[in-house]
Structure 1
Amino acid sequence: MRVLAALSGGVDSAVAAARAVDAGHDVVGVHMALSRNRDEYRSGSRGCCSIEDSNDARRAADKLGIPYYVWDLSDEFHDLVVTDFLSEYAAGRTPNPCVRCNEHIKFDTLLERAASLGFEAVATGHYARIAIRDDGVRELHRAADAAKDQSYVLAVMGPEKLARAMFPLGEIASKSEVRVEAAARGLGVSNKPDSYDICFVADGDTKGFLERALGEKPGEIVDESGEVVGAHTGAYSYTVGQRKGLRLPRPGADGAPRYVTGIDTERNVVTVGPETLLSVRDLVGHEVVWLAPDLPATESKPCHAQVRAHGEPVPGRVVRAGDRVTVELDEPMRGVAAGQSLVIYDGTRVLGQATIAKRAL
């Protein structure tokens, strides 16, 4: 099989490519250049898009003896990921740029280009598993290593893209095994630190990045009764559940901490309140991507719901109706924000994904 291996410059993608070679596939490595000005992107352990990463990817390809190319996807990344990130925050929602990157870049643009060049699959270093049933249905499952599982950010890819994806690291028990294997193969990235946070926020200051891009928009912070209790420089830079950085001049009447409970970017108002107001029992999601064609769309089914990449899954029941899913939780979930990715699981299997449309108390 002709396989395109996405080489980020990290240890995971290098070992994934090596395993694809070992499996007998005809492998070609490609590094995605995602920044228009790569000096602005993070380097070392804090990035995945720098010139340093490109050089590390090239060295890994050379060691594996596979062809290597760099594809400039910076325009697509800016238009589909960075612009979406800014517009979502500007609308008072909380996006996950890694979800959008996987959706639009790694498993849309990359797959489209790969298919046009005759590649049958794309292999990446993501931690997730694909199971193929006797009836041919491909299922996306959590990785064997729960601590590194990335099925949450992959759920948005959909069944068509899943059919052309390979995750060679899905069955590995721990990241330490990957590093040991990389060292044994002579890959120089065996001890390279993991990347964290948002790659296009160079200094890690998301609030500052938003203010530079969207401009300061001073407004009021109010409590649940509507009383003004503070001020802000832009409602877009807050997220539901936030406690730090509110800079309120005085505590609540009961002396308890206050959290962001609502964001209204049209009125430019941030609402704060006690922690009790953060809990929800029902979730509503739209823009549904369903990965379980074998399950009836409208049948209520037990599930677990997750709204953060490394969040705790909460049990409940899900009902899907067209482009909308509703989850009734067995227990409250805290700090749910519009714009978050809602992923539905049945055990380790991913049933589907949707974008949180609203909070229902």
Structure 2
Amino acid sequence: LPSEPKIFHGRESELSDVLELFSQGTPRIAILGAGGIGKTSLARAIVHHAEITVKYTQHRYFVACDAAANQVELAALIGAHLGLKCGKDLTQAVFQYFTTGPSSLLVLDNLETVWEPTECRGDIEEFLSLLADVQHLALVITMRGAERPSKVCWTHPFLGPLQPLKQSAAHQTFIDIAEDYHSPEDIVQVLSLTDNMPLAINLIAHLVDVEGCSSVLSRWEAERTSVISEGYDKKSNLDVSISLSLSSPRLKAVPHAQELLSLLSMLPDGLSDVELLQSKLPVKDIWHCKTTLIRTALAYLDDKKRLKTLLPIREYMRKTHPPRNELVKCLFKHFHELLELHKDFSGAEMISATVGQISSNLANIQSLL
């Protein structure tokens, strides 16, 4: 098993929800969310929790799916963890092992790497369905995105996609890594660059521990996400993590979704459905694009139902995939017309509605100026 996470803050509610599902039987749970949001850490915390350890003892298996290219290779990976003899296809052997064995917990981490390709998806879902047929096998998967594989009866209530950490948890995570002798103002400013995304907090806190807050803040002005992208894999390089999400077959299947994401990179306030409609953006299948960004967790809906993306993703997109001028001009024109409308009309209802829309887009307007 991988080690228990040593720094783990802000996921107490999700962990409690998962343990409640385990207390009621043998659950099938999908841990979803954006890359770098802490899915693997939560899974590691689950598998090492005292209640889970007592319930499953040594029959806890944690399989990183990154190395598998298809269902047969995934079965082989699981078989290796179970100590099965190598074979051409271990699918039935894995099923038989769990069927005849004691109550077990199987965690499939980063399952999206093998589930994403459309040519593999059906086989993977059939395999998951087969595993779910084992009544005493608890199944936990982690996946980038916001959708669960089909053909499995996932346990209710579903665990929602993981969100960025609350400020207090982000602060505690930071000082656990970089200590607390930095000024509170500097810590707040550094954390604001991460949008409380756990991976970004981890990377930037380690950098602050070496270079100090002032140096990191200065470097960010010049280098943006490159500051915390000096590692070689998705766990130590934020740009690599984000680029993996951008290479998702789900995203590539909707070519214009990346265009919408590039535009969102300019918009800290995001966009409402009304604004997506009124701005007449020249993005083909814009509603499908919106759905795709949410499904892949590259964007999310905030509590006001505005489509947004996290700051590290915005910065990466602005650096590597800036929006076309045509898109920016179109949105600029929309906001300009909105401001003109407010100036020209004095009716109370018109002013109220227009002021509300303008106030919801102040950071957007400033960003586009």
Do the two structures share a fold, i.e. TM-score over 0.5?
A: no
Greater percentage in helix = 2
Greater percentage in strand = 1
TM-score (norm 2): 0.28
Please say which structure displays the higher CA radius of gyration: 2
TM-score (norm 1): 0.29
